[in-house]
Amino acid sequence: MNERAVRRTALLVMLVGALVSLGTMFYIGRRQSSWMLIVLFTGWVLGPYVALMIADRKSGPWTPTARLALYAVMLVSTLGSVAIYVAVVLTGPFKPAFYFLVVPVASWLLAAIVIPTTAMLSRR
């Protein structure tokens, strides 16, 4: 599979993943009366997706290895997030908001560790 196909796949998976993530968040928060809290959670849940999309747009001058690391982070982060959010909806844990707070942090950390490390190693 060439880099272009991997990129297209990663972007498509991220788009679907962002929609599923939002859908599960809205479902879990359907009884929430504070529109401000819903807006804040929406931004928080979408944040990693937006950041990875921006990184994709800026990745032109990166090495091919660094771009592939970005695509891997896109896929792993999205699939992991969706799996956790769907599990939250299906199992209905006592404090579901916790997962919608922690999962984006994990996505940010994954991207912050993997992408710069791969870029640095690929330059050597």
Predicted confidence (pLDDT) per residue in 34-63, tens digit? 999 999 999 999 999 999 999 999 998 888
pLDDT-derived band at 91 (thresholds 50, 70, 90) equals very high
Whole-model pTM above 0.85?
A: yes
In this structure, the dihedral spanned by the alpha carbons of residues 81, 83, 89 and 94, taken in order and rounded to 10 degrees, is -70
Question: For residue 99, what are its two tokens?
Answer: 């997962």
At 124 the pLDDT is 63
